[in-house]
Amino acid sequence: EWVVENVNGLLTPIGDSERLSKTLVSALSDPALLKRAAANNLQQAISRANWDVNFAKLEAMYEQLMDPSQ
């Protein structure tokens, strides 16, 4: 859901170990891709994985589960 091919990572089909090994070798041979992916992933984490925002949502869900009358 969070990985976009060649933007912030590389994808391989499930169970395709040969493709996975080729993808890893390719990624390790491309410092520019790794740098770009790292920067994009940091921005994605900052915008989508904000603990303060998400914890408040999670806490509200738990409170609703504990008190179904809400």
Between 14 and 68, name the one with better pLDDT. 14
**How is residue 17 written in tokens?**
């170990």
Over residues 55-68, the pLDDT tens digits come to 888 899 999 999 87
Separation CA 15–CA 30 (nearest Å) = 24
Q: What is the pTM of this model?
A: 0.63
Q: Nearest 5°: CA angle at 19, between 22 and 24?
A: 35
Separation CA 4–CA 7 (nearest Å) = 5
Alpha helices in the chain (DSSP H): 17-28, 31-48, 51-66
pLDDT class for 70, splitting at 50, 70, 90? low
> Which residues pair with residue 5 across a beta bridge?
9
